[in-house]
Structure 1
Amino acid sequence: MNGVGIAGALTVELGGEPLVLLPQKAAFWPRERMLIVADIHFGKAAAFRSFGIPVPKGTTTENLLALDALIELTGANHVLFLGDFLHARAAHAASTQAAMLAWRRRRCELVLTLVRGNHDKHAGDPAGELGIDLVDEPWTVGPYSFCHHPDIAAPGYVLAGHVHPVYVLATRSDALRLPCFIAGPTRMILPSFGAFTGGHALRPEPGERVWVSSGEAVHSVR
């Protein structure tokens, strides 16, 4: 079924609750008005440039604009990051921090929570001025245990990231890699939300469901 009137979204039941899968590679939990985002990797491009690798600028702004659009679209009052908020210590660069702090001042009413991921441990916690509640995995609210790593033992249905899953749709002459949500009986892995983060092709296990995002809509493929 369509997700709470959002174009291209799909509502599924996971952990006994309706959860809206968004074509913008995030999920929305209507009961809690919570926007759930995995692997945004702020500062990844800056980290590459610090090693002299020429990569595009503007990914921080792109990520923040994408968050803004989804907050407006869903009416979320809580944004939950499933780990890897910062990519590396280079994400503490003045320009990256200034953009994030300016965004936070405009979004001061939002509750922000970060479930620490492996990159966060190396990058260090976000600046305190961002007002982000920092928690370790698993962080359980209602039926869901929010994690970064998908295979961690947890009391609830796990929603996780870390893997950056994509699904390959192939014909005899061509193939298309699309970001995907992949769900089994005890956990779902969300696609990477961040710009400039890449993806890892996954082969679903028996009994797992897969939904791909075309960028405009979420589609079930198995």
Structure 2
Amino acid sequence: MMQFRTKEEQVADFLREGIISGRYPRGARLKQQEIATMLNTSITPVREALKLLAAEGYVLGDSYRGATVAPFDIEASSEVQSLRILLETQLVKGAVERVTGEDIAELKVLAGEFAGAFDAGDNEATRAANYRFHHRLFEIAAMPQTLHFVQILWARYPFDLINRLSGRVSRAADEHDEMLAALIAGDSAAAMLATRRHIEAGYDELRRSVALDAASARGGPTPREN
């Protein structure tokens, strides 16, 4: 069962999804009144949500004067990846132990939304669906403190860059299927391994892409040519 969330937590989750999906690009200004109007709420929960997101590292600035989406720190991404693997594999283990048939049905729908958005060529919707799939999966574990730390790590991870890589979304959909299959089978070890591989695959593909771009900019041989 999904836990009750306050209005500010709902707004914060909406904004996290928007930032990770690229709906709100890095450096974009977040206007409280626009967000409140969009979500049919008052300014107060929006302001409180921005305070939460500032504490987690998603946004910079004063919630009263205005906030902007935080820039990505590529120097920290390797450490963040290691921490993601450590915490997210524990969350998926907890999910295997607590998952219900209703949860599995919901996750299948979310995985289908991810694949469907990709097939439709809607990149923003694809990244948003990816966020919802992972968040719901980890929410099942009922480990709110661990999930909170994972959300802090997500603020510092280059999801927008990884999901733009050619063919990455299709491969990620297959990796989601592996995670779901292990979850349905009740196999904690397989679910943890599939989660680790999923995290590593995206980051490794990004590193190779960055290396290729750097070699091309230098006019030298690409890493594959060495």
TM-score normalised per structure 1:
0.30
Higher strand share: 1
TM-score normalised per structure 2:
0.29
When Rg is computed on C-alpha atoms for both structures, the one with the higher figure is 2
Higher helix share: 2
